[in-house]
Structure 1
């Protein structure tokens, strides 16, 4: 791994509950400290202290106690890009030449015992002694090259998005630019990251790779390039095979079924050769997961709630990837966006003016109109917001593109209400909502998601 040292905005620097409450009242035009203290149930001295020693020094309010642009951004869920940047580390894979979607503020390390003439490093299993472990070492294949800030920014945003999702934060990723990142030095530090190959019974893949930073349980971005190169690493391929369960008669039957499903999925995907292009990699990945999970569910007489919820989740991810692709193919362009915040009247007026063959029903329009304009603007720009903000931005982009498919699809193809209901089902989750999913219902939603995908296939 190449470890590059960077200066970047501190994504963890956010308002605490007192700062947010006071700054929120200041944004309404209130300036009287005594009134603010009374409304919040705080001592006036505490309000004065927070103003003088926290909000003003941080540059979040000015001398007249008015929120600055940095303070406004924090109130809208962003981060403080005007504050002092923090020292962070970005990682490029020296085996496959890929930037990993992880940026960290520290470098937790562990050193091996003396390697001597051994091929792989040796570590003790515990400080007290005992056994030893020797991880397989992947050799460096790519030469060091000067990094582009845009690549580091993409990794920064993807890593932050994963971290926030892992903490249950669905607010999306703050808006920063490549200029907000500074690369320190012209050479990286070389190091290794330690991950594990694991087998999870019932998963769509026979083996997975763990996330070395433990933000997510597994790392698709490590497994996929590794899987594509195993034929050039026979020793590692043998190690992975040895980790998989020993097959007996019943496992062989399940394995044969898995191979049949994989063949059917590959045959289905081959209908669109364009999906092999890098620009369609996310679409191919998510469509493949829906097809596999649907096929597995169809073979089960009694699917568990976890399996049905997983199928619905995959359907939502496919639809989200599809709208992200639409925004890349038909961007929203430069436009004057409404003031940040929620304004249902303005949102519904924008949706009413969208040139669609299949107009939005009142209920669907109402579901979309609750989006924050800041999220819609960022969805159009960076395509990493929740589905409803992405769809809102895609609808607005129909003004700029006469060939936009959403202008041409009819009611039977788009089915706006069913589309948004499926996303709502995905977001709530079968367990969190307490609602039990039915096998036929989940399979029907999968059919709908695949059909919605196929509406746009002629544009690939």
Structure 2
């Protein structure tokens, strides 16, 4: 059994988010593990079998075929590959020095072990779906004081004093094999999803393992730096993934209400993120419930027709909440940029709804190996959609048609790609909204401008890049919120099932 003890060790894996955020220290029990290092094999199974038989002085193709059950022509092909690799001599009778080194390395791979770290939640005892092969320790600038202060950027001198919560540590057992396997599967699933969204270059190195062994009987104790922002969905706050693999640390979300109940100062800090006063005579649970009920009530009163689609309802509630926050004076640049992100998310949900409600006839779509902008233009123009002007078509035609077609099954992509994919569903469907809504109603030029602004806010553009940089203002944020709400309302009859 292990209990969290404050040892004054602090870890940081991810970066501070661009949105306005509050830092918190999260207690963890750190388990040191060892696991076989998975390496990319240099040779395939057939090559390995032939190499080992040649080393055992069986080099005739007929003999190898008889021993392995492979067709003799396949054996000769493998021998030719091994010669070209320089792993066997030109007569295919013995291994070269390079070949000996390669086959020995392949044989030893299962014996190589690596060290990694698993993190067990100090509040709940649950194992995090994250693993790393380094302990990324950060040193506070005031190590003698109770509440640590960190210099996060040596160049700019920017610092942070995270909130260090109070809690009563409990005794937790070392996770069993079933729990460990489940956490590992969640980690692998999250990493794979992140690769599809961002690509491998923006992620930390993936830890590959086939099995693991807990090395120490007792885990070490540490605090992990975690960031909390205002939420982009119907929840009030978002706990960011401290390892920057996914946007949100979904496994920590359920712990936040309990944490707030025991740490009123943390509630005070987080209330400023959502433009709400801290609770006065209410408990934290009552306060959280009332805030959520207010947002849901506004949606119910003003946009009752969206209730049939929970995803649109959720995204719409966030926009309405952001609108009120800006009206109440929350006008920090991060708040304004966040409003653009939230507007785009609602528009993306509308496009996803269109794609699923009016699916394209995929058998009629062309299959191309490379993108053809001119073909895309002709295809979009042939749809004869009233709101698709020449400028809109030109902007959308730069999207990859292959990627757009894939969105018919998994509609998760950029807003422009989703608009293209939604348009394809208009073929043969006379009731499709894009066939009936005109340019004045949809104003797609505004949607494209918003998408470009979203790219600026999400990719860290600034004046320093040499690219055009648009300074966000309150008026711009309010304009795009109004546009997004008006755009959404154009689909009212279809979402409500009246068409």
| Alignment TM class, shorter chain as reference | 0.5 to 0.7
After superposition, give the CA deviation of every residue in 1:162-204 in whole Å (9 maximum; x if it has no partner).
654994x9xxxxxxxxxxxx9968xx9xx99975666669999
User: Is 1:241 equivalent to 2:264 in the alignment?
Assistant: yes
Q: Quote the residue 1:394 is aligned against.
A: 422
Alpha-carbon distance in structure 2 between the residues aligned to 1:203 and 1:400: 35
User: Is 1:293 equivalent to 2:322 in the alignment?
Assistant: yes
Q: Is the 8 A contact 1:265 1:292 kept in 2?
A: yes
Structure-2 change in CA distance of 1:446 and 1:329 (3 Å):
same
RMSD: 5.9
Q: Is the 8 A contact 1:379 1:390 kept in 2?
A: yes
Q: Quote the residue 2:295 is aligned against.
A: 265
Alpha-carbon distance in structure 2 between the residues aligned to 1:382 and 1:193: 39
Structure-2 change in CA distance of 1:331 and 1:166 (3 Å):
farther
Q: Quote the residue 1:324 is aligned against.
A: 352
Larger-gyration structure (1/2): 2
Q: Is the 8 A contact 2:229 2:238 kept in 1?
A: yes
Report the alpha carbon displacement of residue 391 of structure 1 after superposing the two structures with TM: 1.1
Report the alpha carbon displacement of residue 210 of structure 1 after superposing the two structures with TM: 4.1
3-state SS of the aligned residue for 1:376?
Answer: helix
Counterpart selection for 1:213 from 240, 243, 252: 243
Report the alpha carbon displacement of residue 425 of structure 1 after superposing the two structures with TM: 2.2
Alpha-carbon distance in structure 1 between the residues aligned to 2:268 and 2:448: 41
After superposition, give the CA deviation of every residue in 1:401-422 in whole Å (9 maximum; x if it has no partner).
4443222323332112222122
More strand by share: 2
Counterpart selection for 1:452 from 479, 482, 487: 487
Where relative contact order (Cα < 8 A, 6+ residues apart) is larger, the structure is: 2
After alignment, is 265-274 or 422-431 more displaced?
Answer: 265-274
Alignment map for 1:351-362 (pairs within 5 Å): 351-354=380-383, 356=385, 358-362=386-390
Counterpart selection for 1:426 from 454, 460, 465: 454
Report the alpha carbon displacement of residue 350 of structure 1 after superposing the two structures with TM: 0.8
Q: Is the 8 A contact 2:456 2:469 kept in 1?
A: no
Alpha-carbon distance in structure 2 between the residues aligned to 1:380 and 1:9: 36
3-state SS of the aligned residue for 1:381?
Answer: coil
Alpha-carbon distance in structure 1 between the residues aligned to 2:379 and 2:390: 13
Alpha-carbon distance in structure 1 between the residues aligned to 2:327 and 2:305: 28
* Unpaired segments ≥5 residues, structure 2: 1-27, 41-80, 86-113, 148-163, 281-286
3-state SS of the aligned residue for 1:398?
Answer: coil
Alpha-carbon distance in structure 2 between the residues aligned to 1:275 and 1:264: 16
Structure-2 change in CA distance of 1:331 and 1:337 (3 Å):
same
Normalising by structure 2, we get a TM-score of: 0.51
Counterpart selection for 2:477 from 442, 445, 450: 442
Number of residue pairs matched?
Answer: 346
Q: Quote the residue 1:371 is aligned against.
A: 399
Q: Is the 8 A contact 2:405 2:421 kept in 1?
A: yes
Normalising by structure 1, we get a TM-score of: 0.54
Report the alpha carbon displacement of residue 387 of structure 1 after superposing the two structures with TM: 1.6
* Unpaired segments ≥5 residues, structure 1: 11-52, 58-86, 111-123, 170-181
After superposition, give the CA deviation of every residue in 1:363-388 in whole Å (9 maximum; x if it has no partner).
11100111122322233332222221
Q: Is the 8 A contact 2:346 2:484 kept in 1?
A: yes
Alpha-carbon distance in structure 2 between the residues aligned to 1:340 and 1:292: 44
Report the alpha carbon displacement of residue 353 of structure 1 after superposing the two structures with TM: 1.9
User: Is 1:409 equivalent to 2:432 in the alignment?
Assistant: no
Structure-2 change in CA distance of 1:164 and 1:276 (3 Å):
farther
Alpha-carbon distance in structure 2 between the residues aligned to 1:414 and 1:225: 39
